[in-house]
Copies of this chain bind each other. A is one copy, B any other.
Amino acid sequence: MHTADAVETIQREMTVFARRARAAAGRMHPELSLVSYTLLGHLEESGGCRSTDLAAHYALDKSTVSRQVTGLERAGLVERRPDAADHRVQVLHLTGAGQRILAQVTESRRAAFRERLADWSAEDLSRFAHYLVRYNASPGPGRQD
């Protein structure tokens, strides 16, 4: 496969994935939207962060994050803690309930992925994972699509 073709393919396949992802989002886990799930996941991974951080990481408008967080808080999945050093800031943390729900959804999602990736070799899985990390890590100007 030539480089140009590979770039083309990556572009197209990533787009197809994004399309299907959007289409399927929320259907698997009515109790937690894709957005909410993703935000919860980031909170767990980061061990608590600010709304602005979430917005930056996912290239979302801060207002969008604000509303999502409001919903998550109302659902009792996250809590806001004041930041002693900067009174503008609210540090977001998962609650116990948030951790439970997240773990549960993660598990069922993982099961679906595992099934999908069942016949991949360990080496292929590892390489694929590294490529994705590398791709997402690149700061790319055009946040792609």
| Docked-complex contact A143 and B113, CB < 8 angstroms | no
Q: Which residues of B contact A117 (CB under 8 A)?
A: 7, 10, 135, 138
Say if the beta carbon of A20 comes within 8 Å of chain B.
yes
Q: Which residues of B contact A58 (CB under 8 A)?
A: 16, 19-20, 23
**Alpha-carbon distance A110/B3, docked complex (angstroms):** 12
| Docked-complex contact A14 and B132, CB < 8 angstroms | yes
How many copies are assembled?
A: 2
Number of interface residues of A (CB under 8 A): 64
Chain A contact residues: over half helix, strand or loop, or mixed?
Answer: helix
Say if the beta carbon of A75 comes within 8 Å of chain B.
no
Q: Contacts A38-B15, A58-B16 known; A129 to B9 CB distance under 8 Å?
A: yes
Say if the beta carbon of A81 comes within 8 Å of chain B.
no
| Docked-complex contact A145 and B25, CB < 8 angstroms | yes
What are 26 inter-chain pairs, A to B, with CB distance below 8 A?
A: A1-B130, A3-B126, A7-B129, A8-B110, A11-B109, A11-B113, A14-B17, A14-B21, A15-B34, A15-B37, A16-B136, A17-B144, A18-B18, A19-B38, A20-B136, A20-B143, A20-B144, A23-B60, A24-B143, A34-B145, A112-B142, A113-B144, A115-B141, A116-B140, A117-B138, A131-B131
